Structures are given as structure tokens and as C-alpha cells.
A and B are shown apart, each in its own frame.
Chain A
Amino acid sequence: MDNYNFPDQNGHFGPYGGTFVAETLIEALDELKEMYNQFKDDKEFLNEFHHDLKHFVGRPSPIYFAERLTHKIGGAKIYFKREDLNHTGAHKVNNTVGQALLAKKMGKPRVIAETGAGQHGVATATIAARLGLECVVYMGAEDVKRQSPNVYRMKLLGAKVVPVESGSKTLKDALNEALRDWVTNVSNTFYIIGTVAGPHPYPMMVRDFNSVVGKEAIGQMDELEGKQPDAVIACVGGGSNAMGIFYPYIPYKETRLIGVEAAGHGIETGKHAAPLTANSPVGVLHGNRTYMMQNEEGQIIETHSVSAGLDYPGVGPEHSWLKDTGRAEYVAVNDDEALAAFHNLCKTEGIIPALETSHAIAYAEKLAKELPKDKTILVNLSGRGDKDINTVANIAGIKI
């Protein structure tokens, strides 16, 4: 792990990742690879990217010591990397700013995106409005129903939201439909994928744009504690916020990296979204090879999680590789534990976290309890929970 330099030039993270797409997409991916390679170290491009991160997104996001939570639990010190304070309320915007800027450089007037809970859709619609790009967001018809405030948000921002009626009508189907759109409109369209999945170069590119989170954290922890945390914890659906904070920490061997998946009703029930923790078979979906929830004949199965953003049957291929190499550990937290952590954080710290993020918080609470007081834990507080208040109220039987 000293000279970690994945992926290889064909987008492989060990046996994972790659480019598993129909021939119709190869040329578009080659073009994207070439342009990304050209711009990723380009000074002017990076200046524009960081300018927008600072002035439009509000970076750097602070690191906050959760003093009352730490005392309540009585173990290791818990810190939060406050991605919830970004414009649009989550880490997702780091990536959309980067990709939209690339779209602009490539002269593509139209961007498309897939979205589950709607956070990535909102982040894409936001930056599309900022840059004057046409924006179409694909969203599973089920998710359109469940997440109506975000659907309206996207429309306010000028995006067209297309409900996807095929398959399970959720995030994975939205991704399929966005790929179909891209194949059809490849000459004028840039596909902004929202997580560290998809064919190469997406897992690498989305990680790189989000790694601003980990890079900032390393400097900030040094200032605050004079040392790096003993553990960095992040929730994992596709895994973009986790890769964003993990990646710069990979060489810091003393820091444990812990990804928290959604155990839904419980791993043993099969109703979950935790392919790494459940040791699901390895398969090929959405252009890459990775651990994936599927039946014996390779059909992708429906996932379950209280948080729509973690409701994805696969996981970014780099996480599969970090699991196999042992550099990162993966655990799962169920719906009830995540909801308890959600309520606890609201009352203890005055922060309403996203339900996705609540999974990471729940595990941080468990781990903090086991560790002595001189240890530190850094949680990527990847998003705020305003979008989830209807879901939480429904579960509590409250009508708002």
C-alpha cells in the first residue's frame, strides 16, 4: 500500500473495475479518458475547479469535534468532516462541479445524470444551472414517488426529470436508462455519474474529484489533534463519499478505514444493500466488475435500505479491491440502528444527518465505545438530513 497506484491504465483495481460496456459506448469512454487525462493535472482546469469549490460550494468544509456525543458515549473522541455544510447539502457536489467543468471543456452542451434519493440529481442540476448546461436526470419511478421534494428541487433548477419505469424502478434502472441516453446522444452529451461505479474512467474520476474531502481532512486533523485519526468511517452505497475520504488516507497505515454498508432488515434476512459485508458474489454490472447482490443465475436482486442513497446492489470496484487487500474494513448497520443514530445526533449535537450518513454515525458510536479516550475517530458527515424528514416522520407514524 506504500505505492498504491490503482487503477491500472485500463481501469482495473486488481480483478475489479474495467470497461464492461457494449461497443456503442467505447468511443465515448475513450474520448472521456483522453480528456480527463489531459485536464486532471492541468493547472488552469484545477484552478477553476478549486475556485468553484471555494466560492460556489463553500469549501473547505470544517472538521467539528462532537464533544457532547463523545462524552455521552464515553470512549474515543469523535470528529465530523462536515460535508453536510456544502452547497446542496452533501459531498455529491464536489464531483458534479468537476465533471460539469469537464463537460464544458469538452464542448458538450447537455449533461445527464442518474439519481436515487435525488441528491446527485440536485447537485447535477445545480451546477448545470450555474454553467448554463441543459440537464436531464433519470430517476426510478419508485424513487420519484418517495423523494418528491428533490424532484421539485431539480425542476426549480431547470432540469428535466425522467421517471424510469423499467426493472425495479430504482437507482440501478436509472443508471441503465442514463447509459441508454448517452449511447443515443453521445455527440452532444456528457454523462455525470454520481458514484465511484460505472465503466473506467468513472470510478477513478469520481474518486479524484471527491478526494478533496480526505486531502482537507489530513491537514485539518493535523491542526486540531497534531495527529491523524485512528479510524476514518464513512457510509458506503456506491461509495463515493467513502472513496473521497479514504483515498488520501491509504498511505496512512496507522489509520483504519471503515466503510459502513446498509444492513437493511439485517444481513441474515437477505433484505439489505451490503454486498461487501455479506460477501456477495463478484459480477459485472454498469460497466465494471465488483461484488454484487445477485441470484444464482446472475440476475441482479432488489436491495433494501431505509436510505435511498445506499439502496444499490453493487459497490464501487475500488472498495472491492480495498476489501480484498485488507486496507479497508467493511461492516454493516441496519435500519433501526441507523435511525437511532439519526435521532441521537439531532438531539445531542444539533445536526440533522442524512439517513445514509446515519449508518456511519451508528458504527462510529459502536467503535468509540470500545476504544480508550485518547483515540480519535473521524466520520465523514457526508450529507444533511433535511431531505429525510418525511421518511423519518412516516416511520414514526407522524404526518407533517
Chain B
Amino acid sequence: MSRISKIFSLLKSNNKKALIPFITAGDPSVEMTKKILHQLVDSGADMIELGIPFSDPMADGPVIQRASERALANNVGIRKTFEIAKEFRNTDQDTPLILMGYANPIEAIGFDEFLRLCKEADVDGIITVDYPPEESKEYVDKLKENDIDTIFLLAPTTEKERIQQIIKQATGFLYYVSLKGVTGAQNIDIDQVKHRVAEIKSLTDLPVGVGFGVRDPETAKAVASFSDSIVIGSRIIQEIEKSNENNMLENISKIIKSIREVI
């Protein structure tokens, strides 16, 4: 069983939901990213999504775009992201680490090299935003052969037949995008999300995580009542933007704890 599946079953038996924060590697700096990763775990994160910076993050809203731009300005790309991941794994053997990114940096270094780096850093799962299943069969198969979970997005507009196709390729968990829009948007409709998550859960035993519009404990609590996990990204990155080096870890910790308490 993968680290991700283990955590989900453990949480289930404790009647808890997985809290998955997202940050971008190298934002605001390589050193701070390393510290933030451990702080997230200490404050109650169950898994971590680490973004691979990309020059053209077309599914992301302005907050995560800025995180990518800051990381790139620090010369952090896909290889540096793996260095950060590897160092995290050296000191934390339990927390699943999921890399989230776009296809081009992966293709630029090549699938084989990407897999080698995933193994070396002991990465648990991959979300490749712009690889829908029909364009990524070979890649997904290779990841699976190497026991790396392939996590796919499902959208409010994804039709039932297609959900069934995607489920066949997916491992670890399914990531339900809670709204029509980009990351960090603010118009989440809880009832609609509830309805959709129920529909997805009727089709699979895989856990279902919800992200893209979760910004506060209230929303997190509501969404956690019918899903298996909450992904929270832009809200944390906003904290990174607002804070200085002295209070950043504390400010992030406060947010994570406030959500941890209610899910």
C-alpha cells in the first residue's frame, strides 16, 4: 500500500479528513520552502503538495502564478524542486509528498530522468495538470510501474462517462476541482460540490479530495463533511506574501491549525 493510501485508511479509522496544503518549491526561497514543509507537517498537514514552478501555469490564478514567478526568479525549476523534496524525505519518512506541475518541464528533462528523480526523492504521487488521461497513457503506466500514485483532476464539467474513464487511470486519490475557474477563486458552491462529490464517490472507492476554492475553516469544515480531503493552496501562499521571514512560519502554522481543528 502506498504512503498516500495508508494515510487515508488511517484517517478514516480515526474519523478524520486529510489536510493537504500546497506550496510552490522555491517560494519565497529555497531555504524557506524547506522550513515551511516541516512547519506544515508540525501544524497538522497529512500530506503535502509541492508545486514545480512553471513559466506558464495556465490553470492557476494570480496568487499561485506569483509564487511560480518568485520561484523562477530564485532559479528554482524542476531539478531544484527534486532537491528540496529529497531533503524533506531525508528528515521525514512518513508524510506523503505529491508533486504538482505542468507537462513541459517533465518532458524537457525526459520521462526516464523524471522517474529516476521521483524514485531518488521517494516522491509518493504526481499531479500533471495538463496531461489528461488520453494524452498520457505511457507516462501514467510508467509511474504506476514505479509505485508512484497518479492523481487526476475532475472538474465540475466532467461527465459521468469520462469520470469512469479517469478512475481507471487514477491511484492514490481523486482531486475534485470545486469550481469553474482557476486556483484561488472565491465562488465555491458547497451544495453543488457536495452533490458532485457524492456522484464521484458512488463510482469509486478511491478517496476524493477537494481543492481550488477552499480558503477558510468554515468552508473546509463544510467540504470535509462529505469528502476525504481538503487541498488548500492560494490561501497559504497569500500568507507567504504578507509575512516576513520572522513571522512567516508562525502565520502559516496558524492557518493550518485552524483548519486542522475542524476537519
Contact = CB atoms under 8 A, between A and B. Distances in A.
A281 interface: yes
B105 A298 contact: yes
Interface stretch (A230-238, A282-290, A350-358, A389-397): A282-290
A19 interface: yes
A27 B159 CA distance: 8
A292 B104 CA distance: 10
A183 B135 CA distance: 20
Interface stretch (A38-46, A103-111, A172-180, A212-220): A172-180
A328 to B, nearest CB: 24
A23 B104 contact: no
Interface of A is mostly: mixed
Interface residues of A, number: 38
Interface in B79-103: 79, 102-103
A166 B105 contact: no
Contacts of A24: 59, 153, 155-157, 177, 180-181
B188 interface: no
B130 A20 contact: yes
Given A23-B154, A186-B180, A285 B65 contact: no
Contact of B158 (A27, A187, A297): A27
Interface residues of B, number: 45
Given A183-B180, A184-B182, A299-B72, A20 B103 contact: yes
Contacts of B159: 27
Contacts of A28: 157
A287 B59 CA distance: 11
Interface of B: 53-59, 61-62, 65-66, 69, 72, 77-79, 102-109, 129-132, 134-135, 152-159, 162, 166, 177, 180-182, 185
24 contacts: A10-B134, A18-B135, A19-B134, A20-B103, A22-B129, A23-B152, A23-B153, A24-B156, A26-B155, A26-B162, A167-B65, A180-B61, A180-B182, A183-B180, A184-B182, A282-B107, A284-B104, A284-B107, A285-B104, A296-B108, A296-B109, A298-B78, A299-B54, A299-B77
Given A24-B177, A299-B105, 18 more contacts: A10-B134, A19-B135, A22-B153, A24-B155, A24-B157, A27-B155, A167-B65, A179-B58, A184-B182, A187-B180, A284-B107, A284-B130, A285-B104, A286-B58, A287-B130, A297-B108, A298-B108, A299-B55
